[in-house]
Amino acid sequence: FVFTEMRIDNIYSTVSMDNPGSQRVVQKLGMKKTRLLKDHKESYGRTMSLLIYEKDRQSYLKEKKS
């Protein structure tokens, strides 16, 4: 829907490096790890490293044709 109806080019997900369960979810959705933001976000007084996952419309449409 996001890629076909809304015609959005990219979607992103930010996941804590300490959360392997969430990492598996976005990987199962076909998202690819594109960046590591080391010591980036402060939550409840602590700094966290975040992983950025991305899925783009081109690769989604290519997968759908296969």
Instruction: Give tens-digit pLDDT for 17-62.
Output: 999 999 999 999 889 999 998 987 676 778 889 999 999 888 888 8
Look at residue 41 in the predicted model and tell me its pLDDT. Answer: 62
Entry pTM: 0.77
- Helices marked H in 1-66: 20-28, 57-65
CA distance 65 to 61: 6
DSSP secondary structure code for residue 6 in this structure: S
HSE on the CB side for 55, CA within 13 Å? 16
| Residue bearing the bigger pLDDT, 8 or 12 | 12
Residue 2 amino acid letter: V
Look at residue 64 in the predicted model and tell me its pLDDT. Answer: 79
Closest CA to 31 of 11, 7, 48: 11
